[in-house]
């Protein structure tokens, strides 16, 4: 028995297709510096939008500045239905290290950098990327940082606010200060520490956007995943994306690639229906919490 899965979900005041695009890989190696082939990066973005992608995830600290500048070159003037989501709270040093940048002054500057490099008057969604620990969520109050974004929202520079790399307690704290429209944490077939969070957000109509949906810098590998993919005549990574679409209707995908061929394969995840026995095999992949 199989169940049809929804193809769209609400993100702020927009209804977006659940398969979007993550722009991280448009920068150079290590998400630092320019791409080897800028024209190819532009082509991928234009192909994504032409194929129906209306949710693009980016940040001005990718590059830094590189991905936002490429997005502007490729897509401006932007389609009316395109939702651009960016994030603030981090910076890169001259060697490409990821460092916190979450003082109110740094957050204000980051929002203005995103506006300038994207060529926008207002940002659709800004995620506060919490950097208490770059390796994963860590407890601590996010009130000072979030207050800075709330003030920018009051000024009309930010339409909606989301959170990234956060704990359930931080989500609750954030929702006590403003409307939170999305949460972006690491989550995929093998990393499912946020199972309960996904379900709680779904009950409240809040989007969950998994980063590294395909494993990030260490791509997902599993015999069970390969077996399911072979049986369905699909690629393993397309199956991994399809599993996320089946997992919960509030999950929005932002797989990234610098290849048009890989982009097309990712987008086909929405066409893949996973039978119940295949879902059971895939559910069993998760690493112990």
In this predicted structure, what is the pLDDT of residue 276?
95
State residue 219's pLDDT score. Answer: 65
Q: Does 103 map to a domain?
A: yes
In a domain, 223, yes or no: no
Reduce the secondary structure of 73-139 to three states and give it as a string. Answer: HHHCCCCCCCEEEEEECEEECCCCCEEECCCHHHHHHHHHHHHHHHCCCCEEEEEEECCCCCCCCCC
At residue 107, the pLDDT reads 98
The verdict on residue 167 lying in a domain is yes
SS3 (DSSP) at 189? coil
- Average pLDDT of the residues of the chain: 94
The reported pLDDT for the residue numbered 1 is 44
Q: Tell me: the pLDDT tens digits for 1-30?
A: 455 789 999 999 999 999 999 999 999 999
Catalytic site residues?
Answer: 62
Question: What are 217-251's pLDDT values in tens digits?
Answer: 566 778 889 999 999 999 999 999 999 999 999 99
| pLDDT tens track for 53-106 | 999 999 999 999 999 999 999 999 999 999 999 999 999 999 999 999 999 999
Mean per-residue pLDDT for 202-212? 96
Q: What is the pLDDT, as a whole number, of residue 217? A: 55
Task: Write down the pLDDT at residue 270.
Answer: 93
pLDDT tens per residue, range 78-92: 999 999 999 999 999
Q: Is residue 213 part of a domain?
A: yes
Determine, yes or no, domain membership for 289: no
Q: Which of 188, 144, 142 lies closest to 163 in space, CA to CA?
A: 142
Full domain range(s) for residue 134 = 8-218+247-258
In-domain check, residue 233: no
Answer yes or no: is 287 within a domain. no
* pLDDT, average across residues 198-227: 88
Q: Identify the burial level of 82 via C-beta atoms within 10 angstroms of its C-beta, where 0-12 means exposed, 13-18 middle and 19 or more buried.
A: middle
pLDDT (tens digit per residue) in 106-160: 999 999 999 999 999 999 999 999 999 988 999 999 999 999 999 999 999 999 9
Q: What CATH number is given to the structural domain containing 79?
A: 3.20.20.100
In the chain, the number of structural domains is 1
């Amino acid at each position: 028995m199989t169940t049809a899965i929804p193809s769209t979900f609400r993100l702020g005041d927009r209804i977006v297709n659940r398969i979007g695009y993550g722009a991280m890989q448009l920068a150079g190696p290590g998400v630092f510096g320019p791409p080897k082939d800028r024209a190819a990066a532009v082509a991928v973005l234009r192909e994504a939008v032409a194929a129906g992608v209306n949710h693009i995830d980016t940040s001005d600290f990718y590059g830094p500045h590189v991905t936002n500048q490429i997005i502007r070159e490729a897509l401006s003037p932007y389609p009316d239905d395109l939702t651009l989501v960016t994030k603030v709270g981090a910076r890169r040093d001259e060697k490409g290290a990821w460092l916190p940048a979450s003082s109110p002054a740094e957050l204000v500057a980051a929002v203005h950098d995103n506006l300038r490099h994207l060529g926008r008057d207002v940002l659709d969604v800004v995620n506060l990327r919490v950097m208490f620990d770059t390796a994963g969520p860590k407890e601590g109050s996010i009130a000072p940082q979030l207050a800075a974004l709330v003030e920018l929202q009051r000024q009309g520079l930010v339409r909606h606010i989301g959170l990234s790399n956060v704990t359930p307690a931080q989500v609750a704290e954030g929702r006590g200060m403003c409307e939170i429209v999305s949460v972006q944490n690491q989550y995929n077939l093998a990393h499912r520490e946020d199972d309960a969070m996904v379900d709680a957000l779904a009950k409240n109509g809040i989007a969950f956007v998994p980063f590294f949906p395909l494993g990030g810098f260490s791509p997902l590998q599993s015999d069970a995943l390969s077996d399911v993919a072979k049986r369905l005549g699909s690629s393993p990574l397309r199956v991994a994306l399809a599993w996320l679409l089946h997992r919960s209707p509030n999950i929005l995908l932002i797989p990234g690639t610098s290849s048009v061929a890989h982009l097309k394969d990712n987008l086909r995840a929405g066409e893949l229906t996973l039978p119940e026995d295949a879902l059971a095999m895939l559910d069993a992949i998760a690493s112990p919490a």
